[in-house]
A and B are shown apart, each in its own frame.
Chain A
Amino acid sequence: MSKSNNNILEVKNLCTSFFTDEGEVKAVDGVDFFIEKGKTVGIVGESGSGKSITSLSILRLIQEPAGKIVNGEIIFKGENLLEKSKKEMRAIRGNNISMIFQEPMTSLNPTMTCGEQIAESIRIHQKLSRKEAKEKAIEMLKLVGIPSPEKRVKQYPFELSGGMRQRVMIAIALACNPELLIADEPTTALDVTIQAQILDLIRKLQKELGTSLMIITHDLGVVAEMCETVAVMYCGKIVEYADVKTILTNPKHPYTIGLLNSVPRHDQHYEGDLPVIKGSVPSPFNLPKGCRFATRCPHARDICHNQLPELKTMDDGNQVRCWIHTDVWEKQEEEVASNS
C-alpha cells in the first residue's frame, strides 16, 4: 500500500501497555497504519485484540498510571500528538478529532440535557455564546435526523432510546466539524434496523462534511459496508492490512480467513455448525513467542511457534504478517518434498 502526503493520520509503531500486579500487558504492540483524507479505515478484531486501545491512544485517553503509551508516533496533520501538552491535546479532542463510543446508554451524562452536552464542546472549541451554542445544538440534532429537535434539546438522555442517544453522540462528535472521526463499535449495542440507520447516517455525514473516518468493529458486515481499507488486529498486532475487496474476497492471513468463514453466508448451505476458529485468544500475560495466532492456526509449523513473522508487503501493496506468505515457507515445502 502506497503512502502519500495526503494522510490525515499516520500511526507508527504504536505500543500501549497496561501495568498490572501480574506484569505488563502489551495491549497494542507495534501498530502501523494511516488514514487518507476523507477515507475510511476499519480496524477489525475480536475483544482484547487492542483495537479500542489503539483508538483511545490516538486521543491520548489512556488512563494513567495503569496504562501508558510506551512507544511510537501518532502523526496528525504532520504533528506528533504524543509530543503535545495536555492543553494542546484538549484543544484537539472534540475539535479536530472526535470519537463516538460503543455504549450510547452510558456514554452520555445522565444529569445534563442533550442540548447542554452538544453545546458544551461547541462552547469550548468555537467560543460561541450560550445562545448561539444552543442554536447550533438544535441544528446538529436536525442534522443527525432527530425529529422535533427544539424539544429534544431540553431532554435528558434517559428520555431517549438507544438509537436516539447514539445520534446525540454523533451530533456531539460532529458539532465542531472534526477532520477525523473515530467510531468505536458505533452500532454494537443497537438492534439491527437501528444499526443500518446509524451507519447510513455516519456515511452520509462523512460525505457531506468530508470527514476522515476510523471505524472500529468486530462486525465484518460493517466493514464491507463502510470501509476502503481494513486492518485486522490480533493480540495487539496488525496481522493483515489491505483494501476491503482483498480482505473480503481474497484474504491471506489464516486468522482473517477464519473470521470470514465464521460469518454465515446467505448463498451457502451449511450442514451442521458454522466453522469456528478453534481454541481461544492466548492470555495477554503469556503471549506466544512466535506468531501469536500459531496456537490456533491450522497451518502452524515449528517456525510459526518460535519466530514472530514481520508484516510483509505483498506485490499488490497489501500487507500480511504470516510465514506462509514468505520465501521461508516455500523453501521448507521444497525441502519436505525433496526429502520424501
Chain B
Amino acid sequence: MLTFIIRRFLQIIPVMIGVTLAVFLMMHLIPGDPAQIMAGERADEAQVEQMRENLGLNDPLHEQYLRYVGNAIQGDLGTSIRTNRPVVNEIFDSRIWITIELAFWGTVLAVIFGLIAGIISATRKYSFADVSLMIVALFGMSMPNFWLGIMLIYFFSVNLGWFPIVGWESWKHMVLPVITIGSGGAAIIARMTRSSMLEVLDNDYIRTAHAKGVSERLVVYKHALRNALIPVVTVVGLQFGTLLGGAVITETVFAVNGIGRLVVDAIKARDFPMVQGAILVCAVAFVLVNFLVDIAYRLINKRIDLN
C-alpha cells in the first residue's frame, strides 16, 4: 500500500509541470502585451518598460518559467495588482478555506443523498420510490445553480425567513449555498449508484452470496455496495474538483467571499497575478483530491495496480 501511495504521488510531478506550464503560459497567450495590460491603459512607454522589467518579461521564456515555478514552490505567487498584497495571502488568509468548506459540505451532502437515493432506487427497481427519486434526480441535474440558488433564497430566506440571504458566518448561512452547490452532484451520484448497483446485483457472486444464506441486507451493503462504489468514487472525486471551480456562481449568488468571487473580481480588475495564483491553487487542490480518490479506490478495489 505504501509503495502504491509513493508511486501514485510521483505521478503528480508531471501533472504539476503541465499545470504550472499552462498557468504560466496563460499570461503570454492573452492577446496584447501583458506588461501593457498590467501597467494599465494610461501608462506611458517608460512605465510599461519598467513593468516589463519588473515582471522579467525580457528574459528567455524558459528562465521565466523556472523562476515562476521556483517562486511558487517557495509560496510566492506574485503580488496582486489590485490590492498590492501578496497573492498567497489574499488566497489563503480566508478565501480558499471558505470555498473548501463550501465544496466539502456540498460533496458530503451529494454523497449522502446520492448514495441513499441510488441504493433505494436500485433495490426497488421500477417501484414508485425508484421512479420518483430518479425524476427528482433529473431535476437536480438539469437545474442551473444560479436559478436554484435564487429560488432557495426566495422561498426559504425571503418568504419563510428560515435562513439568512447572504454571507458566510454561522451554519445557518451555509445551508442554502451547500444545497445549491451539492444538488447537482447528489443527482449525478444517485443515478450513477443506481446503475452501478443494478449491474453489480446481476453478477454471479451476488447469487453465490444468496446461496450461502446471506441476508438481503448484507448482500446489498456488504457484497454489492463495495463493488458498486468503484465507479461512484471516481465521480465523487471529480465532483469535488468541479465544486471548487463551480463555486464561482454559488458564491456570487449568495455573496460569499470565497475563491470563486476572488477570481471574478480579479478578472474584472485585470489582476493577472491574482487570477494565475487562484487558478494554480484550484488546480493543485484538484490534483490532490484525485490523489486521495485513487487511494480510496485502491482501498475498495484491490485489483488496481499502477503496473
Partners in one complex: yes
Interface residues of B in 155-214 (CB under 8 A from A): 203-205, 207-214
Q: Is the CB of B212 within 8 A of A172?
A: yes
B223 neighbours in A (Cβ, 8 Å): 109, 112
Within the complex, the shortest CB–CB distance from B218 to chain A, in Å, comes to 9
B300 neighbours in A (Cβ, 8 Å): 111
Q: CA–CA, A99 to B204, complex, Å?
A: 12
Q: Is the CB of A158 within 8 A of B212?
A: no
Can you name the residue of chain A whose Cβ is closest to the Cβ of B207?
Answer: A61
Q: Is the CB of A106 within 8 A of B203?
A: yes
Chain B: number of interface residues, binned into ranges: 20 to 34
Q: Is the CB of B214 within 8 A of A111?
A: no
Q: CA–CA, A121 to B219, complex, Å?
A: 12
Q: Is the CB of A61 within 8 A of B213?
A: no
Can you name the residue of chain B whose Cβ is closest to the Cβ of A91?
Answer: B213
Can you name the residue of chain B whose Cβ is closest to the Cβ of A122?
Answer: B212
Say yes or no for B242: interface residue by CB 8 A criterion: no
Say yes or no for A98: interface residue by CB 8 A criterion: yes
B212 neighbours in A (Cβ, 8 Å): 93-94, 98, 120-121, 124, 172
B209 neighbours in A (Cβ, 8 Å): 109
Q: CA–CA, A50 to B214, complex, Å?
A: 25
B211 neighbours in A (Cβ, 8 Å): 59, 61, 93-94, 98-99, 101
Say yes or no for A90: interface residue by CB 8 A criterion: yes
Q: CA–CA, A59 to B208, complex, Å?
A: 11
Query: Which residue among B210, B212, B301 has the maximum number of chain A CB atoms within 10 Å of its CB?
Result: B212
Say yes or no for A12: interface residue by CB 8 A criterion: no
Q: Is the CB of B302 within 8 A of A109?
A: no
A124 neighbours in B (Cβ, 8 Å): 212-214
Say yes or no for B303: interface residue by CB 8 A criterion: yes
B226 neighbours in A (Cβ, 8 Å): 111-112
Say yes or no for B64: interface residue by CB 8 A criterion: no
Q: CA–CA, A103 to B303, complex, Å?
A: 19
Q: How many A-B residue pairs have CB under 8 A?
A: 69
Q: Is the CB of A101 within 8 A of B303?
A: no
- A110 contacts which of B207, B214, B227 (Cβ < 8 Å)? B227
- B208 contacts which of A109, A111, A158 (Cβ < 8 Å)? A109
A172 neighbours in B (Cβ, 8 Å): 208, 212
Within the complex, the shortest CB–CB distance from B266 to chain A, in Å, comes to 46
The verdict on A109 contacting B205 (CB below 8 Å), with A90-B215, A156-B302, A158-B303 known, is: yes
Say yes or no for A306: interface residue by CB 8 A criterion: no
Q: Is the CB of A93 within 8 A of B210?
A: yes
Q: Is the CB of B213 within 8 A of A95?
A: yes
The verdict on A107 contacting B210 (CB below 8 Å), with A90-B215, A156-B303 known, is: no
Within the complex, the shortest CB–CB distance from A149 to chain B, in Å, comes to 19
Say yes or no for A190: interface residue by CB 8 A criterion: no
A111 neighbours in B (Cβ, 8 Å): 226-227, 300-302
A90 neighbours in B (Cβ, 8 Å): 213-215
Say yes or no for A325: interface residue by CB 8 A criterion: no
The verdict on A125 contacting B207 (CB below 8 Å), with A110-B227, A111-B301, A111-B302 known, is: no
Within the complex, the shortest CB–CB distance from B125 to chain A, in Å, comes to 10
Q: Mark A112-153, 1 if CB is under 8 A from B, else 0.
A: 100000001100110000000000000000000000000000
Say yes or no for A74: interface residue by CB 8 A criterion: no
B203 neighbours in A (Cβ, 8 Å): 106
Q: Is the CB of A103 within 8 A of B302?
A: no
Interface residues of A in 16-59 (CB under 8 A from B): 59
Say yes or no for A92: interface residue by CB 8 A criterion: yes
Can you name the residue of chain B whose Cβ is closest to the Cβ of A175?
Answer: B212
Say yes or no for A239: interface residue by CB 8 A criterion: no
Within the complex, the shortest CB–CB distance from A239 to chain B, in Å, comes to 28
The verdict on A108 contacting B214 (CB below 8 Å), with A156-B302, A156-B303 known, is: no
Q: Is the CB of B213 within 8 A of A92?
A: yes
Q: CA–CA, A172 to B209, complex, Å?
A: 10
Q: Is the CB of B208 within 8 A of A108?
A: yes
Interface residues of B in 279-307 (CB under 8 A from A): 300-303
Further contacts, 4 of them, CB under 8 A, given A86-B216, A124-B212, A172-B208: A106-B203, A109-B223, A120-B212, A172-B212
On B, residues with C-beta under 8 Å from A are 203-205, 207-216, 223, 226-227, 300-303
6 A-B pairs whose Cβ atoms sit less than 8 Å apart in the complex: A107-B205, A108-B208, A109-B209, A121-B212, A124-B212, A156-B302
The 4 nearest A-B residue pairs measured at CB: A94-B212, A94-B213, A93-B213, A106-B204
